[in-house]
Structure 1
Amino acid sequence: MSQAGQAVSAPRSGDRLTGSVIVVALVSAISGLLYGYDTGIISGALLQIGEDFDIGHVWEQVIAASILVGAVIGALTCSRLAERRGRHGTLLLIGIVFVIGSLAASLSPDPITLSLSRLVLGFAVGGATQTAPVYVAELAPTAYRGRLVLFFQIAIGVGIVIATIVGAAEIIDWRVAIGMAAVPAAIMFALMLRLPESPRWLAREGHLDRAEEALGRVRHRDSDLSAELQGIRENVEAEKQASTRGWSGLKAAWVRPALVVGCGLAVFTQLSGIEMIVYYTPTILTDNGFSDSTALRVSVALGLTYLIAQLIGLAIIDRVGRRRLTLLTLPFAALALIVLGTFFVTGNDGKSMIPWIVATLVAFMAFTAGGIQLMGWLTGSEIYPLATRAAGAAAQSASLWGTNVLITLTLLSTMNAIGTGQTFWMYAVFNIIAFVFLWKKMPELTGRSLEEIEQHLADGKFKPADF
């Protein structure tokens, strides 16, 4: 273990939470809430939009997926902005785009304009998912890093719950529902004005005095910052001497294991079936004979389950461990999808089976939201070396959003082609494959500082058996 790793992981007063760190986590949480709300609101809104614009499933898939295409663009673009201009300035820009995208979507006169507006909104969503967790991870004390980064993930659940409640109310026009997202976006922007730049980014850019000042703003006033600053300096110096920087650095053999785990995990968070449930539950249920009101109430139940499961995961993740929690929950998520698919394939999907179908949907949501869904953004903020962290997180975000686009654009068509139950079975298989992949590739990162994780990569020991 390097001296830097030892210094950073040792207990110190800097591990205490401060008000500034909490505000940092709050900004990240607001960006997560916007992600959950802006993507989740389309679930119920599609029922109104379809009637207003007189469109079918193809246009519904395009409207739902447009925000995801924008997210891929935003993740890739903001990774470069975060490297060149800093995490802080990039998040300020994202706040502005959130406001513009929300208002433009709410005023759209036709499906084309709505899709383009949601593309802009998606830019902010993708940029936030790439930048906010990294920003929090680089400012948070090691002892709290996992929980503070996961505020972003928990806030996604809050956003989804709010979106499903708004949709289920059936009295709020879809334009108002979409436009309301501009309010938290403006609050996010205002809070960012009070926060410092990432001290790790400042140190990497050669601004050591500013890095020390920024770190002092997010640590307790009685903290001795010397050990943490020394660890950051040594890490930055090592990165300067290495040939692994930015996107080209991701090609390095010693970084590749992190990229494989990160992008593989990102892909499987989507192939788990979570977005199928979040975006299209009302559409799937109404297409199979459920009433609109029943379908929307089920969406609320699923949104609440998502949030509760994530809160439980947040409470236990630093004790149970990232790897262990993921591997414990994946088999049960797969089983729930197998049972759900069986209901539809065998014709047991009528009104008498509604309680069983809902219970199975809730069970699936609990196991996937409380397991693999916690890991997608968290790992992207911590497994990559400092010099490639923004690029790695962007690659991971793009993998996640790209998979999401593919699923969203094809899901309803796939169900029409092979059947609803068979589609659930297909996603159950994806969960099983995810279990095998993560069992073999994903090490336990819980309790490790960012510098310790990087040291394991440099030593060629980024394997489950080596942690």
Structure 2
Amino acid sequence: MSTASEPRKRAGSATPSTTELDLQDARPENGRRNPKGFLRLVTIISTFGGLLFGYDTGVINGALPYMAESDQLNLNSFTESLVASSLVFGAAIGAVAGGRLADRYGRRTIILYLAVIFFVATLGCVFAPNLELMVLFRLLLGLAVGGASVAVPTYLSEMSPAARRGRLVTQNELMIVTGQLMAFTFNAIIANLSDDHHIWRYMLAIATLPAVVLWFGMLAMPESPRWLGKQGRLADMMSVLYRVREENEAKAEAQDINRTTEEEAAAVRVRWTALRDVTWIRRVFFIGCGIAVVQQISGVNSIMYYGTQILKESGFDTQAALVANIANGVISVLATFLGIWLLGKVGRRPMLMVGVAGTATALLLIGVFSMVLPTGTTRAFIVLALTVTFLAFQQGATSPVTWLMLSEIFPLSIRGFAFGVTGCLLWLTNFLVGFFFLQLVGWFGISATFFLFFALGCCAFVFVKRFLPETKGRTLESLEREFKQHYGDPAEAAR
């Protein structure tokens, strides 16, 4: 194993073949190891970034009504949208910056820095004395959310074996919806324990705890083996692979990573211009952008951010809406468990098609019943049932497939950057939905707004059916080679 005094080999320099590396150097001195157990620990610790993602996006759902009543913030419908969506705008910036920095400095390193930002920005929101500082710290918190939305799935995707990649990467989606459920639950508990208009500060403060766990936990986690291989640090790469794979799998995967890295080093160095100049990368990037937009134009975050307001509009009072909103969080968690199981049984493409069709149908029905039924208990419970149905399809199919495919379809040389750019597009679409939802309801009414999302869902279904490839059961390196062959320009392939 390399020592601290040994010079590190950089990408592009002459590197030894992995066949020359002896796995004896990577073995622990006591000879004991548990690859599956250690990989499970890596997954649990790193996905605390997803838990923070979910809590910080979900907590505003219940905190916003109390923020609006605060004499310090003095919110109206416009500034409510600003507070909710400022995090999302920050996430768009954080996604592209986090992806680029993760390519340069490593996936683990960026997650460590994100944990610090989560902690500091959360405290800033908790103690914000006015609207301006609240928006500023929500924007900073968004940088961490966006960075985590890219860095954590990339890290998990590169740590996972091909056969388990779908299940392990979607553990992050499970932690996201768990974080949202925690937010909904704590919101309801705190709201029923106190009538103080400043209780929203306690709702926000809870997010500091998982940020601390993420930081201390990632200190003990290794760097992604594929990132290490890209840097020419083959001994370190072998050491990590030996900790998370069986011996024969580690050796074979190391050779595959090294071969792909050498092929890329022998070619023209890939920069961001590859998105414009290399045919197959451009086509894969187009698919990635489409996947990102498809997840958000369903209007999922209109429910995650404004679920309490939607239920109040339908007939619940504030505290009843907060309690009822827990059902949305519970079904999201249960549906994600189902989605993780299904990813091991069926392909990504049919799952996404079913998810998009199901969410579009639920939105159509919400629009219809909101139009034909008067405000009251019956309408409130029907809308609640339909939002639960919507989230079952969204969190059980659409969202897991989205984050999984974005983490696996891009080539290693620009994986973090390309994931970051598509993540930025996803968050910008999220921002537009979050910012304009209340405005659209005010302009056109809740029924027409959901009819608009239904129409967008139909467009999303056509895109998925027409363009989405299948990626199940393939290693990241084999996917890269298949995309080159399938989407590449014949002249480029010949060169």
Give the Cα–Cα distance (whole angstroms) in 1 for the partners of residues 249 and 443 of structure 2. Answer: 63
Which position in structure 2 is the counterpart of 1:154? 174
Give the AA of the match of 2:453: Y
The answer to whether the 8 A contact 2:122-2:205 is kept is yes
The answer to whether the 8 A contact 1:196-1:217 is kept is no
Alpha-carbon distance change, 161 to 246 in structure 1, aligned in 2, over 3 angstroms: farther
Which position in structure 1 is the counterpart of 2:137? 117
The answer to whether the 8 A contact 1:72-1:123 is kept is yes
Which position in structure 2 is the counterpart of 1:88? 108
The answer to whether the 8 A contact 1:87-1:135 is kept is yes
Give the Cα–Cα distance (whole angstroms) in 1 for the partners of residues 324 and 447 of structure 2. Answer: 18
SS at structure 1 position matched to 2:345: helix
Q: Which blocks of at least 5 consecutive residues in structure 1 are unaligned?
A: 1-15, 463-467
2:161 to 126, 137, 141: 141
Residue 288 of structure 1, CA deviation: 4.6
CA RMSD of aligned residues (A): 1.6
**Worse overlay, 283-292 or 320-329:** 283-292
Which position in structure 2 is the counterpart of 1:344? 370
Could you tell me the TM-score, scaled by structure 1's length?
0.92
Identity %: 35
Give the Cα–Cα distance (whole angstroms) in 1 for the partners of residues 248 and 207 of structure 2. Answer: 38
Larger radius of gyration: 2
Q: Counterparts of 1:173-322 in structure 2 under 5 Å?
A: 173-220=199-246, 222-223=247-248, 225-243=250-268, 245-251=270-276, 252-322=278-348
The answer to whether the 8 A contact 1:318-1:447 is kept is no
The answer to whether the 8 A contact 1:20-1:195 is kept is no
Residue 224 of structure 1, CA deviation: 5.2
SS at structure 2 position matched to 1:290: coil
Residue 429 of structure 1, CA deviation: 1.2
Residue 214 of structure 1, CA deviation: 2.2
Residue 268 of structure 1, CA deviation: 1.3
Give the Cα–Cα distance (whole angstroms) in 2 for the partners of residues 423 and 392 of structure 1. Answer: 32
**Worse overlay, 261-270 or 354-363:** 354-363
Which position in structure 2 is the counterpart of 1:43? 61
Give the Cα–Cα distance (whole angstroms) in 1 for the partners of residues 269 and 456 of structure 2. Answer: 33
Q: Which blocks of at least 5 consecutive residues in structure 2 are unaligned?
A: 1-33, 489-495
Give the AA of the match of 1:226: K
SS at structure 2 position matched to 1:459: helix
Which position in structure 2 is the counterpart of 1:3? none
Alpha-carbon distance change, 353 to 287 in structure 1, aligned in 2, over 3 angstroms: closer
Give the Cα–Cα distance (whole angstroms) in 2 for the partners of residues 233 and 203 of structure 1. Answer: 7
Which position in structure 2 is the counterpart of 1:5? none
Residue 289 of structure 1, CA deviation: 4.2
CA-to-partner distance for each residue in 1:48-101, whole Å, 9 max, x for gaps? 111013311111101001111111111111122111111111111011111111
Give the Cα–Cα distance (whole angstroms) in 1 for the partners of residues 297 and 306 of structure 2. Answer: 15
Alpha-carbon distance change, 332 to 78 in structure 1, aligned in 2, over 3 angstroms: closer
Q: Counterparts of 1:371-410 in structure 2 under 5 Å?
A: 371-410=397-436
Give the AA of the match of 1:361: T
SS at structure 1 position matched to 2:155: helix
Give the AA of the match of 1:117: F
Which position in structure 2 is the counterpart of 1:6? none
